Amino acid sequence: MSWQPAFTQGHTRDRTNQFIGQLRRVSCPLPETLEFLQRLCREPRRVCAKSDIVLSGTPSAYLHIVLSGWACRTRTLADGRRQITAFLLSGDICDLDNVFFDPPGESVSALTECEVAAIPKARLRDLARRDADFAEALGWFAAHDKVVLGARIASLGQRPAQERIAHLLCELITRLRARGEANGDSCRVPLTQEQLGEALGLTTVHVNRVLQGLRADNVVVRDGDRLTILDWEGLQAIGCFSPTYLHLPGRTHSQPIA
Amino acid sequence: MSWQPAFTQGHTRDRTNQFIGQLRRVSCPLPETLEFLQRLCREPRRVCAKSDIVLSGTPSAYLHIVLSGWACRTRTLADGRRQITAFLLSGDICDLDNVFFDPPGESVSALTECEVAAIPKARLRDLARRDADFAEALGWFAAHDKVVLGARIASLGQRPAQERIAHLLCELITRLRARGEANGDSCRVPLTQEQLGEALGLTTVHVNRVLQGLRADNVVVRDGDRLTILDWEGLQAIGCFSPTYLHLPGRTHSQPIA
DNA sequence: CGTCCGATTGATGGGACTCAAGATTTGTGG
DNA sequence: CCACAAATCTTGAGTCCCATCAATCGGACG
């Protein structure tokens, strides 16, 4: 498995750190806070694909942040069925709620090889106490997660399969674009159809058929783990997607729905 | 509409305030913080049933807290379909994420007559800056919401209608019990089948039939807005419900699943 | 070259939706 | 206090979306 994180630029200094970037975008943490976090990010843990970053039910003293690669939060029901509750991209916090609730109720698994930063929870709390701006940023992250979860609930509850898939693809592409990990209308989406199904509450078989439908209509094409949008307007329309709820910075190559 | 909040006790001092109670349970805010909040709670806004507490898309300078009554967060899709993303009971914060994201993406509507406290966001931020414990409590609330949302996603994605309904009923009863708003195995659940459907991604008709099935199996009975559990163990088993994720205090009259 | 994993295809069945009508409850005004 | 209106609940018949089961195909890899 040769996954290569797609960095926008290859600076000689710290390469683009999405987490620190977001942090600074939503608040003004103290220099010492940033420095501490940056130091931690400089020696990330390498996690290989398909292994767990956080294991539900197992207490953990760390908060985890994805620096590169793809991961997902999963919840396993008593009968073994799995639900993916979120996809985590570079800069996303894995288990913010577990700062308060230990052991975690959800697992986090790497979908590709990942670089993960681990912050001791005790230090994090300390940081938040000392630095109100940082605390506020954490609140922002939590609120952001809540919004995205709410959107997913609406999708699962109200939308038929095709719309649901289209919406998820729109969301992923938009988030990738904001990170500079998409080239125009094409990007890597290293998800199997089974994983898409687990996130959307659909079976692999049905995901496959719907995806073929979208392809037949010249909306999207998947070739391996490369996803190409042929008709961005169309995909948005099918998924009733409006990127505003993601609260991302700058251009996301999309117009608000009139 | 003669809805009467069911208070556990009729103290002469402040009557039981679930919000303040929870706040103190999860952290130790400064006395002045508590006093400020208590003062606000003492003159709540009265909101009549079916009216909006928060209107999606309309900026609001206040954070809202349900002091008594039932409310729900809803999200309306472009085509008009509605999804209820959460039911809000006494002490629950309506729109915590909108402290960061204005205007709100979700509406909050009163399902019964409600008493609602409104805290100016600016004051709230101020409070959180001054009082790290209070800030931490807010984090707790946000994390808690996230956990509950995650559980609902798993329900919507993986469970068939009967399990989904059973799970939601278990959740509601457990939360009511923790508030002292349930008498033994019976409590008021002022929800229409349509509203249950909107929360569960099911049609009214189907909710009705499943509910009848649960009744035929002597699991639960609904009489008007009164819900009575005939077989608590059975209901939990059907819904694969384990109350731990709700992180409620004390007795919830339930055993962890072995 | 055989194995494994993921994508694909087909046939079949069922859970949930839709449509439509009636019953029951709740609310309202005279 | 009754009559009427409006919700809400209930029931039935028909349909469809999506799940299930089962097999095949293709590529990656040791």
Shared domain for B147 and B242, answered yes or no, is no
Q: Is residue A222 part of a domain?
A: yes
Q: Is residue A257 part of a domain?
A: no
Chain segment A132-146, per-residue pLDDT in tens:
999 999 999 999 999
Q: 3-state SS of A59-93? A: CCCEEEEEEECCEEEEEECCCCCEEEEEEECCCCE
CB-closest option in A79, A97, A157 to B143:
A97
Q: Is residue A10 part of a domain?
A: no
Minimal CA separation from B157 to chain A, in Å: 4
Shared domain for B122 and B171, answered yes or no, is no
Strand partners, A86: A73
Shared domain for A202 and A152, answered yes or no, is no
Chain segment B19-48, per-residue pLDDT in tens:
999 999 999 999 999 999 999 999 999 999
What residues in B contact A244, CB-CB < 8 Å? 105
Q: Give me the CA A167–C1' D6 separation in Å, rounded.
A: 38
Of A156, A174, A201, the residue that ends a domain is: A156
- Which CATH number do you get for residue A203? 2.60.120.10
Strand partners, B84: B74
What residues in A contact B159, CB-CB < 8 Å? 77
Residue B194 belongs to what domain range? 160-246
Give A6 or B128, the one with higher predicted confidence.
Answer: B128
Shared domain for A112 and A81, answered yes or no, is yes
Shared domain for B42 and B115, answered yes or no, is yes
Closest nucleotide relative to residue A212's CA, C1' based: C8
Report CA torsion sign: A160, A143, B84, B184.
positive
Q: Which of residues 147-166 of B touch A (CB under 8 A)?
A: 147, 149-154, 156-159
Q: Is residue A13 part of a domain?
A: no
pLDDT in tens, chain A (258 residues): 333 343 333 333 456 799 999 999 999 999 999 999 999 999 999 999 999 999 999 999 999 999 999 999 999 998 889 999 999 999 999 999 999 999 999 999 999 999 999 999 999 999 999 999 999 999 999 999 999 999 999 999 999 999 999 999 999 999 999 999 998 899 999 999 999 999 999 999 999 999 999 999 999 999 889 999 999 999 999 999 999 999 988 655 444 443
Shared domain for B172 and B94, answered yes or no, is no
Chain segment B187-202, per-residue pLDDT in tens:
999 999 999 999 999 9
Shared domain for A59 and A90, answered yes or no, is yes
Shared domain for B125 and B93, answered yes or no, is yes
| CB of A128 less than 8 A from some CB of B | yes
Q: Which of A238, A225, A183 lies closest to A6 in space, CA to CA?
A: A183
**CB–CB of B16/B91 below 8 Å?**
no
CB-closest option in B83, B135, B158 to A157:
B83
Burial class of residue A106, CB neighbours in 10 A (0-12, 13-18, 19+)? buried
Size of interface A-B (CB pairs under 8 A): 154
Taking CB atoms and an 8 Å limit, are B97 and A152 in contact across chains? no
Residue-level pLDDT at B79? 84
Residue-level pLDDT at B251? 52
Of B156, B172, B204, the residue that ends a domain is: B156
Residue-level pLDDT at A59? 96
Chain segment B202-226, per-residue pLDDT in tens:
999 999 999 999 999 999 999 889 9
**Contact, A209 CB vs strand C, < 7 Å:** yes
Q: Is residue A12 part of a domain?
A: no
Q: Is residue B115 part of a domain?
A: yes
Q: What is the mean pLDDT of chain B?
A: 91
